[in-house]
Amino acid sequence: MSVSVRIPTPLRKVTNGEDKADVDGNTVSAIIASLDSQFPGIKSRLCDDSGDLRSFVNIYVNGEDIRFMDGMESGVNSGDEVSIVPAVAGGN
Protein backbone atom coordinates (compact mmCIF):
# COMPACT_ATOMS: atom_id res chain seq x y z
CA MET A 1 0.00 0.00 0.00
CA SER A 2 1.25 3.44 -0.85
CA VAL A 3 0.72 6.73 0.96
CA SER A 4 1.64 10.14 -0.35
CA VAL A 5 3.59 12.34 2.09
CA ARG A 6 3.91 16.09 1.59
CA ILE A 7 7.40 17.34 2.43
CA PRO A 8 7.67 20.95 3.69
CA THR A 9 10.47 23.29 2.56
CA PRO A 10 12.69 22.91 5.67
CA LEU A 11 13.04 19.16 4.93
CA ARG A 12 13.68 19.33 1.23
CA LYS A 13 17.45 19.35 1.59
CA VAL A 14 17.08 15.84 3.01
CA THR A 15 14.75 14.75 0.20
CA ASN A 16 16.97 16.12 -2.58
CA GLY A 17 14.42 18.82 -3.29
CA GLU A 18 11.44 16.45 -3.59
CA ASP A 19 8.17 17.96 -2.27
CA LYS A 20 6.35 14.61 -2.19
CA ALA A 21 7.27 11.06 -1.34
CA ASP A 22 5.35 7.81 -1.80
CA VAL A 23 5.96 5.42 1.06
CA ASP A 24 4.49 2.30 2.67
CA GLY A 25 3.17 1.87 6.20
CA ASN A 26 -0.11 1.53 8.06
CA THR A 27 0.62 3.90 10.96
CA VAL A 28 2.23 7.34 11.12
CA SER A 29 5.29 5.93 12.89
CA ALA A 30 5.67 3.23 10.21
CA ILE A 31 5.40 5.95 7.55
CA ILE A 32 8.19 7.92 9.22
CA ALA A 33 10.39 4.80 9.45
CA SER A 34 9.77 4.12 5.78
CA LEU A 35 10.56 7.75 4.89
CA ASP A 36 13.82 7.45 6.82
CA SER A 37 14.93 4.42 4.85
CA GLN A 38 14.28 6.36 1.64
CA PHE A 39 15.84 9.58 2.94
CA PRO A 40 18.24 8.71 5.76
CA GLY A 41 18.27 11.31 8.55
CA ILE A 42 14.73 12.58 8.05
CA LYS A 43 13.45 10.87 11.19
CA SER A 44 15.90 12.72 13.43
CA ARG A 45 14.56 16.01 12.04
CA LEU A 46 10.99 15.04 12.89
CA CYS A 47 11.43 13.17 16.16
CA ASP A 48 13.43 13.70 19.31
CA ASP A 49 15.81 11.12 20.82
CA SER A 50 12.99 9.18 22.46
CA GLY A 51 11.14 8.88 19.17
CA ASP A 52 8.40 11.39 20.01
CA LEU A 53 7.37 13.96 17.45
CA ARG A 54 9.20 17.26 18.06
CA SER A 55 7.02 19.98 19.54
CA PHE A 56 7.23 22.21 16.47
CA VAL A 57 6.20 19.57 13.94
CA ASN A 58 2.56 18.87 13.13
CA ILE A 59 1.45 15.86 11.11
CA TYR A 60 -1.93 15.60 9.42
CA VAL A 61 -3.64 12.59 7.85
CA ASN A 62 -6.16 13.74 5.25
CA GLY A 63 -6.17 17.15 6.90
CA GLU A 64 -6.75 15.89 10.46
CA ASP A 65 -4.14 16.66 13.13
CA ILE A 66 -2.84 13.31 14.46
CA ARG A 67 -3.09 14.70 18.00
CA PHE A 68 -6.87 14.40 17.56
CA MET A 69 -6.33 10.79 16.40
CA ASP A 70 -3.95 8.25 17.97
CA GLY A 71 -0.79 10.31 17.66
CA MET A 72 2.11 8.41 16.12
CA GLU A 73 0.03 5.23 16.12
CA SER A 74 -2.77 6.81 14.05
CA GLY A 75 -3.82 4.49 11.26
CA VAL A 76 -3.07 5.30 7.63
CA ASN A 77 -4.68 3.64 4.61
CA SER A 78 -3.58 3.28 1.05
CA GLY A 79 -4.36 6.46 -0.87
CA ASP A 80 -4.33 8.69 2.24
CA GLU A 81 -2.48 11.96 2.20
CA VAL A 82 -0.03 12.65 5.00
CA SER A 83 1.18 16.19 5.44
CA ILE A 84 4.15 17.35 7.52
CA VAL A 85 3.77 20.99 8.49
CA PRO A 86 5.97 23.25 10.62
CA ALA A 87 3.94 24.29 13.66
CA VAL A 88 5.22 27.82 13.66
CA ALA A 89 2.66 29.51 11.48
CA GLY A 90 -0.43 31.59 11.78
CA GLY A 91 -2.05 33.73 14.36
CA ASN A 92 -1.02 36.96 15.94
Contact of 66 with 28, CB cutoff 8 Å: yes
Least Å distance, CB 70 to another protein, is 14
Give min distance, CB of 18 to another protein, in A: 12
- Residue with smaller CB distance to another protein, 23 or 57: 57
Start-end of H helices in the chain: 28-38, 42-46
Nearest-approach distance from CB 38 to another protein, in angstroms: 18
Shorter beta-carbon distance to another protein: residue 78 or 90 = 90
In the complex with another protein, the residue whose CB is nearer, 1 or 9, is 9
How many C-beta atoms surround the C-beta of residue 19 within 10 A? 12
| Contacting residues toward another protein, per CB under 8 A | 6, 8-11, 13, 19, 45-46, 54-58, 60, 63, 65, 67-68, 83, 85-92
How many Cα atoms sit within 13 Å of 6 on the Cβ side?
A: 14
Q: How far apart are CA 10 and CA 67, in angstroms?
A: 22
